[in-house]
Structure formats: C-alpha cells, structure tokens
Amino acid sequence: MLIYTLRRILIMIPILFMVSIVVFALALAMPGDALSGQIDPANANPEYIEEMREQLGLNDPVHVQYGRWVADIVQWDFGRSVVHSRDVTALIGTRLPNTILLSVMSLIITYILAFFMGKYAGRNPYTVGDYTIQGANYLMLAIPSFVAALFAIFIFSFQLGWFPSTGSVGSGLETGTLAYWGSKLYHTFLPALVLGMLVTASYTQFLRNDIIESSQKDYVRTARAKGTDENEIYNKHILRNSIIPIVTLFGFDIASIIGGAVIIETIFSYRGIGELLISSISTRDSAVTMAIFLMLSVATLIGNLLADLLYGVIDPRIRVE
C-alpha cells in the first residue's frame, strides 16, 4: 500500500507542474497586469511607469516571471492583492473557513439524503415512493445549479422567510461566541442544501440501483431461504456492500463540491473562496485569481488521490495492478 501511495503522489507532480503553467498562462491572458494598483494613479509620467515595471519584473521574459512566481509559491508567498491591498495568503485565509464550512455541510446533507432516499427506493422499487424519489432526482439532475439557487432563494428566503438570502454571518455578533457560530450555520444551511442536493441525486440513483441488483444475487436468495429476517438481509448483507462504492467517491466529492461552491457562493453573496474568485476576475486581480485557481486544482488532485487510495484500501487488486 505504501508503494501504491507513493506512486500516486509522484504522478501528481508532473500534473501539478502542467496545471501551474496553465494557470500562469491564463493570468497573462487577463486584461491588465500586476502593475495595476501598485503605482501612484496620480503619476502618469512614462518614466515613472517604466521604472515601476522594471522594479516589479514585468519587463522580464515570461519564463523568468513564471520561475519567480513558482519560487514564491514554494515559500508560501502568493503575492499581493492590488484590490484589497493585502497579502493574498492572508486574504484567502479569511475566506477559506467559510468555504470549508459550506463544503462540509453540503457533504453531510448529501450523504444523509442519499442514504435514506436510496435505501428506501432500493428496498421498495417500482412503488409510488420510488417513482417520486426518481422524479425528484431527475429534476435535480436537469436543473443547473444557479437556477436551483435562485429558486431556493425565492421560495425559502422571499416567500417563506426561513433563511437569509445573502451573507455568511449576521451583523453585530462577536466572533467565536455561540450566537456567532449559530448565525454562521443558519446562513450556510440554504446554500449548502442547494450545493448538496445536486450531488445527492446521482448518489441516490446509484444506491437504489445497486440495492435492487444486489437483492437478486445468490447470497441474498440463500439468506432468504434460511429464513433470515428481511431487515437483516437489507441492512447487513445488501446495504453494507452497496455503500462501499459511494464511500470511495468521497475524494471526487471534494473537487466537485468546491467547484460548485464558486457559483453558489456568488449567487448567495456568501463570503467564501468562490465569491472571492469571481470578484477577483471581474476586477483583474491576477495574484488572487492565480492563487485560487491553483488552490482549486490542488484540491482536485488531492480529492482524486483520496479516491484512488480508498479504492486501493477496499480492493487490493488495484494496488497490485
């Protein structure tokens, strides 16, 4: 298992190198450059601007700028935000906890809903309840995330008034208090529900179909022939085997949830990484944009690594191959 893990980590290195080149190229393609916001806007003297470009290294060849950027990242220096006038690392540090909270809540919602709906539909196939769950699943799969978010805001915020439509925490609350964390959970629940429901649909269908297929296998018929209780057959023999593939998808969930959070956070004005990314792109804040793109890419690679390792733990044949 150790060799298998090391091999998977080594594979990530060239991928990460290629991702860094793509991210840097995208940043260069953005309108404007790092000079924006770092010079005196009242001084339009060409000599002053040229001097500043030279000091910032913007006149250097592209490969030199790329090497300097990578060297800074290795030292955990992602540059300085020209819009927020602060280090990118510190800026992301203020937003990252909100995105992590949103992602964790959405994952919890996903697994709870998928478990109960998939279990019920798989155990009661081709019934009214099963068709209702399948219909809801297909509806969730067909609706884009931003449309689902707008509907959720309209129904649960504007019509019913159950949840706030924007923000990540109430105003006037002291950080770290019970009221503060309660307000954060309250503000996070609705965007987490929308984010989690989109993944829930596919998991519910997967669990339902696997339970139905497993219920027809020989070992289940043998258990029934021996007079084993039906609840024990489903909970002990079928459900345990059907859940394992879903657990291994946890790694892929990390990437999909964080990627989906970019859209959801923007619509809910939720102060997380996704909202910061969109605002940074619109304001041409290249240092922040590159840092977040790179962070999301690394999160995707780590998620895939976790998924592969879980597969390896569950199925030893994969490690051998």
Residue 155 shares a structural domain with residue 295: yes
Residue 184 shares a structural domain with residue 258: yes
CATH at residue 223: 1.10.3720.10
Residue 198 shares a structural domain with residue 304: yes
Residue 212 shares a structural domain with residue 72: no
pTM of the model: 0.80
From 43, 77, 111, give the residue that closes a domain. Answer: 77
Task: With respect to residue 308, please indicate whether it lies within any of the assigned structural domains.
Answer: yes
Q: Which pLDDT belongs to residue 78? A: 84
Task: With respect to residue 21, please indicate whether it lies within any of the assigned structural domains.
Answer: no
From 77, 109, 137, give the residue that closes a domain. Answer: 77
Task: With respect to residue 23, please indicate whether it lies within any of the assigned structural domains.
Answer: no
Q: Which pLDDT belongs to residue 320? A: 53
Residue 129 shares a structural domain with residue 57: no
Domain region containing 49: 31-77
Domain count along the chain: 2
Reported as a single tens digit per residue, the pLDDT across 231-257 is: 888 777 787 777 766 766 766 677 677
Q: Which pLDDT belongs to residue 189? A: 92
Task: With respect to residue 7, please indicate whether it lies within any of the assigned structural domains.
Answer: no
Residue 67 shares a structural domain with residue 97: no
Q: Which pLDDT belongs to residue 186? A: 92
Task: With respect to residue 16, please indicate whether it lies within any of the assigned structural domains.
Answer: no
Q: Where are the alpha helices (DSSP H) in the chain?
A: 2-29, 46-56, 62-74, 88-123, 128-142, 145-152, 178-214, 218-225, 230-232, 239-248, 250-267, 273-282, 286-314, 316-320
Per DSSP, the residues of 67-100 read HHHHHHHHTT---EETTTTEEHHHHHHHHHHHHH
Tell me if 161 sits within 8 A of 111, measured CB to CB. Answer: no
Residue 68 shares a structural domain with residue 121: no
Residue 57 shares a structural domain with residue 139: no
Side-chain-facing half-sphere of 283: CA atoms under 13 Å: 16
Task: With respect to residue 296, please indicate whether it lies within any of the assigned structural domains.
Answer: yes
Residue 64 shares a structural domain with residue 186: no
Q: Which residues of the chain have pLDDT under 70?
A: 31-44, 244-245, 247-248, 250-252, 255, 314-321
**Beta carbons within 10 angstroms of residue 239's beta carbon:** 19
Q: Which two tokens stand for residue 42?
A: 């009242």
Residue 41 shares a structural domain with residue 166: no
- In one-letter notation, the amino acid at residue 192 is A
Tell me if 102 sits within 8 A of 266, measured CB to CB. Answer: no
Residue 67 shares a structural domain with residue 179: no
Task: With respect to residue 246, please indicate whether it lies within any of the assigned structural domains.
Answer: yes
Task: With respect to residue 82, please indicate whether it lies within any of the assigned structural domains.
Answer: no
Residue 66 shares a structural domain with residue 136: no
Q: Which pLDDT belongs to residue 128? A: 92
Per DSSP, the residues of 142-198 read HS-HHHHHHHHIIIIIIIS--S-SS-SS-TTPPTTSHHHHHHHHHHHHHHHHHHHHH
From 53, 77, 101, give the residue that closes a domain. Answer: 77
Q: Which pLDDT belongs to residue 39? A: 62
**Bridge pairing between strands 86-87 and 80-81:** antiparallel
